[in-house]
Amino acid sequence: MAALETESAARRSVVGHYRVTKNVYESLEGEARAHGVSLNTLVSQVLSNHAQYDLLFDEVGSMRMTKDGFLAVLDMLSDERLVEWGQAFAKSGPDSLMFARKGSISLDAILDSLRLYSKVGWYSMHEAKRNGMEYVTFIHCLGPKYSTILGASITALFAEVGIRPKIMSTHSSVTIEY
């Protein structure tokens, strides 16, 4: 029961007052209108994303890049180099996130990390179970070269816990079966 009470306490709203410049306020108001949410909801989402994701990604050394810049880098690399990049990525970042969020590298921690990357916009992630098998599909808009990196990265992540998923890729998605 204590865990439920703790979770409930963490979700309770508190009232806070903050000062922002007029142009920031107006920008947030416009963004809230465009997304059909209240200004309060938008500000809460922005602060939540910063506290839950941005700080953690900054801590592990992540950086932001434009899609066009990222695609230009992808175009310079052969498929073999993309696979190497995906494998290197699996060993250079997610493990820190897994330990920070779950305390170990496990299937649960891997899936949690993949969900986290989904929340920050690298892809959308869809999970399903059919005929006793688990399926996870990652949908993105970065083209077939990104599918190559993503497939190699996921394969390397799962290998860390002794699982060899079956990978199926298209130009805009990667599906794994395990």
Does residue 162 share a domain with residue 109?
yes
DSSP letter for each residue of 90-132 = HHHSHHHHHHHHHSS-SHHHHHHHHHHHHHTTS-EEEEEEETT
C-alpha distances out from residue 9 to 3, 17, 43, 53, 129, Å: 10, 20, 20, 20, 33
Q: Which of 59, 82, 98 is the last residue of a domain?
A: 59
Q: Answer with the one of 34, 59, 84 that is the final residue of a domain.
A: 59
Q: Which of 59, 85, 107 is the last residue of a domain?
A: 59
**Do 135 and 167 share a domain, yes or no?**
yes
Whether residues 138 and 166 share a domain: the answer is: yes
Q: What are phi and psi of 37, to 5 degrees?
A: -125, 165
pLDDT for residue 97: 75
Considering the domain architecture, whether residues 130 and 173 belong to the same structural domain is answered as: yes
| pLDDT at residue number 106 | 92
Same domain for 75 and 39: no
- 167 within 8 A of 156, measured Cβ to Cβ: no
Alpha helix (H) ranges present in 120-173?
A: 144-159
Is 107 found in the same domain as 52? no
pLDDT for the residue numbered 53: 67
- Indicate whether 144 and 86 sit together in one domain: yes
Same domain, 53 and 71: no
What pLDDT does 1 receive? 45
- Indicate if 122 and 152 belong to the same structural domain: yes
**Residue 74, CA atoms < 13 Å, CB-side half-sphere:** 18
Q: What does the alpha-carbon distance between residue 85 and residue 23 come to, in Å, rounded to a whole number?
A: 41
Please tell me the predicted confidence (pLDDT) of residue 125.
Answer: 96
Q: What does each of the 178 residues of the chain score in pLDDT, given as a tens digit?
A: 444 545 555 667 788 888 889 998 888 888 889 989 898 888 887 887 777 767 766 666 666 778 889 899 999 999 999 999 999 988 876 777 788 788 889 999 999 989 988 887 789 999 999 999 999 999 999 999 999 999 999 999 999 999 999 999 999 999 999 9
Q: Are residues 99 and 51 in the same domain?
A: no
Both 80 and 143 in one domain: the answer is: yes
Total domains present in the chain: 2
> Same structural domain for residues 78 and 135?
yes
CATH number for 74: 3.30.1380.20
Identify the domain containing residue 159 by its residue range.
Answer: 67-177
